[in-house]
Structure 1
Amino acid sequence: MTTLTASYERCRRLHARHGRSYYLATRLLPGWKRRHVHALYGFARYADEIVDSFDVRGDRAAALDAFASQVAAGLAGEPVRDPVLPAFLHTVRSFGVAHGDIAAFLRSMRADLTVTRYATYDDLLGYMEGSAAVIGTMMLPILETVPSARDEAREPARRLGLAFQLTNFLRDVAEDLARDRIYLPLEDMAAFGVTEADLRGPSTGRAVRELLAFEASRAREHYAAAAPGIAMLIPSSRPCIRAARELYGGILTEIERSGFAVLERRARVPRRRKLATFARHLLLSAATGRAELRAVVDAP
């Protein structure tokens, strides 16, 4: 059985390897919170890797079912063998993460085994509710909200998760298609005259670029709707989420700057800009952390 310390380290390494922008932003959180964010990321990434790691669909389904069974057993207080689950379950118990959000996430992962196209944007949103929006709401107890905004903060957290995932979908059109998945609504493709063959081409044609610009505007709407939620978090959590929003929004900006040429190259935020974003928020992160500690020390 994996020790709790080893499990948290496994999750941290998964986060550092696969979620570099988000991992960098997480370093702006108070130290004690970081490992819990790593645990949520490690859980989500591990499930995602199961869905993508086997050539045979039946093998993927069996592996995901086994993982879901271990999650259910762990939530019921039974011992688990999977190396990421001790940290994840400890985080869930420590912060009261909603079990319904966990179930919704696993349903969306299961959908990836059989659903490869989405007819409408509403259909895609249904998938994203489990694969992205609930990640935002699972984060909330860890980040902590100001008392007056506990319920109100849920919707901005959902919208930020949706914004991040739509950004990924636009960036990863070619990568997803290599797995026979298209996360661009079919009715939107039809409206812009885009075929699957157009998405397989070596270059991004005009119709595809116009389609991607339309979907990018939807992502921007989600970013805008998420923005008020940052002020609903306690001060020491705000620099992390501001930085994450800027870094993921930066990926979308790079896509736009390229003229939506996503089939030619994968959009990335330049390393220098990433570090500048981190540095800009670092001083505020340290100051808010010290202020919260002083408030505890000075309390009667």
Structure 2
Amino acid sequence: MSGGSLYDRCAQDAAATVITAYSTSFALACRLLGPRVRTHVRSVYALVRVADEVVDGAAEATGLPAPTQRLLLDELEAETLAAVARGFSTNLIVHAFALAARECGIGHDLIRPFFASMRTDLTRTQHDDASHDAYVYGSAEVVGLMCLQIFVNAGRSTPLSPDPTLVEGARRLGAAFQDVNFLRDRADDENRLGRDYLGLQDGHRDRIAVLDRIDADLDAAARAIADLPVDCRRAVTTAHGLFAELARRLRDDDETVRVSVPTPVKATIAARALAGRPPKRSTP
């Protein structure tokens, strides 16, 4: 094995370790992806996780002030863009992401909005409709679009532009995932971080209206899943099912504990996807 190949594999293994440690639900869905796309998808989510730790987790927990967090995030963005251009980074997670980006056509148009949304967490705590939508686009929808680039282009010599129907589905699924997480993490976001992503504190939005929008986004995404490449459908259907179940449970939630999906229910959702069943929709 050449030095480059060994380094690439080590970087991708590091990305897989990050994802497995941080999200059991995502790790479950990722295992259902075909090998053609699985490694690159893990690499995208590992970079997302590291960036999130700069603004929400490990960096903040060490007591770093916001200007230092901003500097670290700017450096991470610059290193990511440079690695995509040159094909190498001394940061293993960034290197793994760059491998995915270069093969699958993930460009500045998706990378920059993501980091812009991450920076928003350092300066803004209250959101209106416009700022919420901009934040969700950068923090979640573009991540879905990065994954779509992988689904369509992994293994190709020249990346193609995805079909507009798939683009819409990826964006709507990413938005639903993010809004579900906003509701699940509302207590921590408000009490620890002082953030209100959904405008619920000041009555700007109604919780049921947010859940209705989530259901509409999930339904729109469900219609596009059948058009994905075959080796991606089971994983995306599983992820869709997990978040649809979370959304259902959030409607009955008293907000005293963080809502989760029990392991047996996760297994049932995954088994349904493995059997080739289409994602459930909230409306016929």
**CA distances 1:35-68 after superposition (whole Å, capped 9, x unpaired):** 1110010011111111122231122111111111
**CA distances 1:162-190 after superposition (whole Å, capped 9, x unpaired):** 0000000000001112112111226x833
1:261-276 aligned within 5 A: 261-262=254-255, 264-276=256-268
Relative to structure 1, the CA distance from residue 214 to residue 61 in structure 2 (aligned partners, 3 Å threshold; closer, same or farther) is: same
**Larger Rg over CA atoms:** 1
Relative to structure 1, the CA distance from residue 232 to residue 14 in structure 2 (aligned partners, 3 Å threshold; closer, same or farther) is: same
Deviation, structure 1 residue 92: 0.4
Of 2, 27, 34, 1:30 maps to 34
Q: What percentage of aligned pairs have identical amino acids? A: 31
Relative to structure 1, the CA distance from residue 248 to residue 41 in structure 2 (aligned partners, 3 Å threshold; closer, same or farther) is: same
Answer yes or no: is 1:282 the counterpart of 2:274.
yes
Map of 2:43 onto structure 1 = 39
Answer yes or no: is 1:179 the counterpart of 2:183.
no
Q: Contact 1:12/1:42 (CA < 8 Å) preserved in 2?
A: yes
Deviation, structure 1 residue 90: 0.3
> One-letter code of the match for 1:183?
Y
CA distance in 1: counterparts of 2:180 and 2:250, whole angstroms:
9
Q: Contact 2:242/2:266 (CA < 8 Å) preserved in 1?
A: yes
Which has the higher mean CA deviation after the structures are superposed, 234-243 or 124-133? 234-243
Q: Which runs of 4+ in 1 moved over 4 A?
A: none
Map of 1:9 onto structure 2 = 13
CA distance in 2: counterparts of 1:184 and 1:49, whole angstroms:
21
Aligned length: 261
Answer yes or no: is 1:135 the counterpart of 2:135.
no
Answer yes or no: is 1:150 the counterpart of 2:159.
no
Q: Contact 1:149/1:232 (CA < 8 Å) preserved in 2?
A: no
Map of 1:232 onto structure 2 = 227
Map of 1:77 onto structure 2 = 86
Map of 2:119 onto structure 1 = 110
CA distance in 1: counterparts of 2:272 and 2:220, whole angstroms:
23
Deviation, structure 1 residue 99: 2.2
Q: Which has the higher helix share?
A: 1
Coordinate RMSD, CA, aligned: 2.2
Map of 2:251 onto structure 1 = 256
Q: Contact 1:132/1:162 (CA < 8 Å) preserved in 2?
A: yes
Map of 2:280 onto structure 1 = none
Map of 1:202 onto structure 2 = none
Deviation, structure 1 residue 78: 6.3
CA distance in 1: counterparts of 2:161 and 2:75, whole angstroms:
40
**TM-score of the pair, normalised by structure 2:** 0.85
Deviation, structure 1 residue 236: 2.2
SS in structure 2 of the partner of residue 152 of structure 1: helix
- Segments of 5+ residues of structure 1 without an aligned counterpart are 193-210, 286-300
Of 165, 179, 182, 1:169 maps to 182
